[in-house]
Structure 1
Amino acid sequence: MPSAEGGPPVCSRKGCRNDAAWQLLWNNPRIHTPERRKAWASCPDHVAWFEDYLRDRGLWKQTLPLTADRPMETR
């Protein structure tokens, strides 16, 4: 999720406004086609929390670094 000022994405964790360094790709098979990917941005402090949350629900697909040459992915 980009910041309100159009700067780097900020962490998607509720209440966190830190710059994101990771993107977590996920898919809900009950409502998305298999190739569809949604993405959450995460700061280093919350990446493990997001992975645990998504894995526990069977939604996690991949965690990728968020860099200038690899923007947020959604398909």
Structure 2
Amino acid sequence: MWAVRWNNPTLHTPERRKVWLACDSHRETLWEFLSLRGFARDVVPVDQLEPTDG
């Protein structure tokens, strides 16, 4: 399981991260969706999420 971290720069401060979870099969599709909008920030394994994420 993957945590795709993103933010909308028009709504969120630069350090803010929203988190969407994705399985191996959908991680790339979700990343592409967010990247096209300029929202994608990074992808980490779920077990590496910080308590302040999301």
The SS at the match of 1:61 is strand
C-alpha deviation, 1:71, in angstroms: 3.8
Q: Which residue pairs with 2:21 in the alignment?
A: 41
Alignment partners' CA distance in 1, 2:21 and 2:29: 12
More helix by percentage = 2
Q: Which residue pairs with 1:51 in the alignment?
A: 31
The SS at the match of 1:63 is strand
> What do you get for the CA RMSD once the two structures are aligned?
1.3
Alignment partners' CA distance in 2, 1:36 and 1:56: 19
- TM-score, length basis structure 1: 0.64
Corresponding pairs, count: 52
Alignment partners' CA distance in 2, 1:71 and 1:33: 19
- Name stretches of at least 5 consecutive residues in structure 1 with no aligned partner: 1-20
% identical aligned pairs = 37
Higher normalized contact order (CA 8 Å, seq sep 6+, divided by chain length):
2
More strand by percentage = 2
- TM-score, length basis structure 2: 0.86
The SS at the match of 1:41 is strand
- Name stretches of at least 5 consecutive residues in structure 2 with no aligned partner: none
C-alpha deviation, 1:66, in angstroms: 1.2
Q: Which residue pairs with 1:23 in the alignment?
A: 3
